[in-house]
Amino acid sequence: MKNKVFALIFGIGIFAGILGGPVIARAANLSVLDTVAGFETLLKGSEYVPHDRVAFEIIQPNKHVQQIQAIAGPGGKISSVIDEAVTTRAGRYELYNVNNPDDRASFYVYAAETSAEVSTVQVMKNQRDVIVRIVDEFENPLPLHEVSLQSNRPDDRIEPHRAATDGNGIARFVVTLRQPGQAVLTATDETVGTTIAMRASLEVGGKSIGSLALAASGGDERVLVAQAATQVASFEIENLPATAQMNQTISFRIRAVDAFGDVVPGYRGTVRFRSTDPNVQVPEQYTFRDTDLGVKTFNLGLTFRTAGEQSLIVEDADDDTINGRRIVEVTGSGGNQDGGTIRITKPATGTYSVNTLEVAGQAEPHATVLIFDNGQQIGQVQATSNGRYSFQTSLLTDGEHLFQAQSNGARSAEVPVTIDSTPAQIEDVNLSDDFVVPGADVQLTIRSDTDLTAVQATVGDFITDLDPDPNNPGTYVGTLVAPGREGSYAINVILTDRIGNVSSALEAGTLRVDTSAGGAGAGDGNTIAFNVPSKVQGVSATPGPGSITLTWSPATAASGIKNYRIYYGTELQSLNQIATTRDQSTRWTIPGLLPGTRYYFQVLAVDANDNEGDNFSDVVVGIPLALTDGLNGAADSLQGTNGLLQNGGVVSGNGSNFALCEPGPCPQAGFPPATPNDGPGVVGMAVAALLGGGVWRRLKR
Q: pLDDT digit string (tens) for 390-436?
A: 999 988 888 889 999 999 888 888 888 888 877 778 877 888 888 88
Confidence (pTM):
0.32
Lowest mean pLDDT among 69-78, 100-109, 590-599, 686-695: 686-695
Share of residues in the chain with pLDDT > 90 (%): 19
d(CA 129, CA 121): 11
CB atoms within 10 A of CB 159: 12
pLDDT beyond 80 at 226: no
Backbone φ/ψ region at 501: left (φ over 0), alpha (ψ -120 to 50), beta? beta
- Residue 335 is predicted with a pLDDT of 38
- Residue 92 is predicted with a pLDDT of 92
Confidence tier at 618 by pLDDT (50, 70, 90)? confident
Contacts of 182 (CB under 8 A, 6+ apart): 201, 202, 203, 204, 227, 262, 263
d(CA 257, CA 259): 7
Q: Tell me the sheet residues that pair with 41.
A: 82
Q: What is the mean pLDDT of residues 501-521?
A: 74
Which tens digit of pLDDT belongs to each residue from 52-61? Answer: 888 888 998 8
Most confident of 267-271, 394-398, 605-609, 682-686: 267-271
More confident of the two residues 220 and 465: 465
d(CA 39, CA 37): 6
pLDDT beyond 70 at 111: yes
Q: Tell me the sheet residues that pair with 272.
A: 315
d(CA 140, CA 138): 6
Q: What is the mean pLDDT of residues 158-174?
A: 87
CB atoms within 10 A of CB 659: 11
The pairing of strands 415-419 and 428-431 is: unpaired
**DSSP at 276:** S
Q: What is the mean pLDDT of residues 579-607?
A: 90
pLDDT beyond 50 at 361: yes
pLDDT beyond 50 at 336: no
Provide the Cα torsion 611, 614, 615, 620; round to 10°.
40
Lowest mean pLDDT among 178-192, 220-234, 541-555: 220-234
Q: Which of 166, 61, 188 is nearest to 119 (CA)?
A: 188
Q: What is the mean pLDDT of residues 502-523?
A: 71
Vertex 241, ends 235 and 244: CA angle to 5°?
125
d(CA 72, CA 75): 8
| Cβ burial, residue 545 (10 Å; 0-12/13-18/19+) | middle
- Residue 114 is predicted with a pLDDT of 92
CB distance 315 to 323 below 8 Å: yes
Q: What is the mean pLDDT of residues 250-262?
A: 84
Which tens digit of pLDDT belongs to each residue from 128-147? Answer: 788 899 999 888 999 999 99
d(CA 441, CA 424): 27
Contacts of 39 (CB under 8 A, 6+ apart): 84, 87, 112
pLDDT beyond 50 at 122: yes
Q: In what order do the strands lie in the sheet with 577-580?
A: 577-580, 561-569, 599-607, 620-622
pLDDT beyond 70 at 382: yes
Q: In what order do the strands lie in the sheet with 462-465?
A: 435-436, 502-513, 487-497, 452-459, 462-465
- Residue 239 is predicted with a pLDDT of 83
| Cβ burial, residue 157 (10 Å; 0-12/13-18/19+) | exposed
Helix pair angle (5-12, 693-700), 10° resolution:
110
Average pLDDT, the chain: 75
Contacts of 479 (CB under 8 A, 6+ apart): 441, 442, 443, 444, 464
Q: What is the mean pLDDT of residues 481-496?
A: 86
Most confident of 1-5, 182-186, 273-277, 625-629: 273-277
| Residue 615, phi then psi, degrees to nearest 5 | -120, 130
d(CA 360, CA 346): 5
Domains along the chain with CATH numbers: 24-110 (2.60.40.1930), 120-223 (2.60.40.10), 234-331 (2.60.40.1930), 428-531 (2.60.40.10), 540-654 (2.60.40.10)
d(CA 324, CA 253): 12
More confident of the two residues 666 and 205: 205
CA distances from 85 to 57, 171, 389, 546 (A): 15, 29, 10, 34
pLDDT beyond 50 at 665: no
d(CA 655, CA 636): 8
CB distance 80 to 33 below 8 Å: no
Q: What is the mean pLDDT of residues 460-488?
A: 86
Vertex 604, ends 599 and 605: CA angle to 5°?
145
Q: Which of 502, 497, 490 is nearest to 444 (CA)?
A: 490
- Residue 205 is predicted with a pLDDT of 44
Q: What is the mean pLDDT of residues 7-35?
A: 46
HEC per residue, 414-464: CEEEEECCCCCCCCEEEECCCEECCCCEEEEEEECCCCEEEEEEEECCEEE
- Residue 230 is predicted with a pLDDT of 54
pLDDT beyond 80 at 635: no
- Residue 72 is predicted with a pLDDT of 84
Which tens digit of pLDDT belongs to each residue from 448-470? Answer: 888 788 888 888 777 788 999 88
More confident of the two residues 249 and 67: 67
Q: Tell me the sheet residues that pair with 567.
A: 578, 602
Contacts of 284 (CB under 8 A, 6+ apart): none
Share of residues in the chain with pLDDT > 70 (%): 77
